[in-house]
Amino acid sequence: MQKFLGSFFIGWDLDLYHEETNQRAQVNTSDLNEELGQVEYVFTDKTGTLTENEMQFRECSINGIKYQEINGKLVPEGLTEDSPDGIRQSLMKEEELFLKAVCLCHTVHISADQTDGIGDGHWNANGIVSQLEYYASSPDEKALVEAASRVGVVFTGTNGEGMEVKSLGKPERYFFHITFIIVLKGQNIK
């Protein structure tokens, strides 16, 4: 009974109130209420409670070379727009293959109202689709697909038994057969 009533006090605690969203703390389980005061350090954030599930693409490694995104371009580490070599206007083959893999190996979906006629969608002059809204159960998958889109390899949706990608302005369709999808729930498997 104490654990159940303790969950109400957590919901009523004004220090746990979030003004921006006008929400109180929500207690989903009463198993650990009495142990909350004993926490001294938080080492990881697997659930997204601290990061608010907002992931951003920072850098990647392709063929042993570190890259970062600068102004919608994939740039090898150490180069900037001011570098003598400048920023390349196109992707090398390995970079394009990496971004295609990012666009094809995920469980991301596009907003239902944007999937009709996606092959003829709203494309900018640079061949990049404008304002596709991606949805994903995993914020890291969404961040990777959005980063690939900004660089020029855009996941445009699924169609029956295939996935559609627009790579540097050129539409491509890949056919597949889903064998199974593994969903990790953060539980220890022994």
Output the pLDDT for position 73: 84
Token couple for 107: 């469980």
Output the pLDDT for position 13: 84
Query: Tell me, what DSSP letter sits at residue 99?
Result: H
Q: How far is CA 48 from the centre of its chain?
A: 12
Strands 162-167 and 170-175: antiparallel
Q: Cite the active site residues.
A: 45
Under a CB-based contact definition with an 8 Å cutoff, are residues 142 and 108 in contact? yes
Whether the pLDDT of residue 6 is over 70: the answer is yes
Distance CA 184, CA 105 (A): 16
Output the pLDDT for position 126: 47
Confidence category of residue 109, pLDDT binned at 50, 70, 90? confident
Under a CB-based contact definition with an 8 Å cutoff, are residues 103 and 155 in contact? yes
Task: Please give the mean pLDDT across all residues of the chain.
Answer: 76
Better-scored residue on pLDDT, 44 or 79:
79
Amino acid at residue number 183? V
Distance CA 83, CA 155 (A): 31
Distance CA 112, CA 161 (A): 17
Under a CB-based contact definition with an 8 Å cutoff, are residues 169 and 127 in contact? yes
Output the pLDDT for position 100: 93
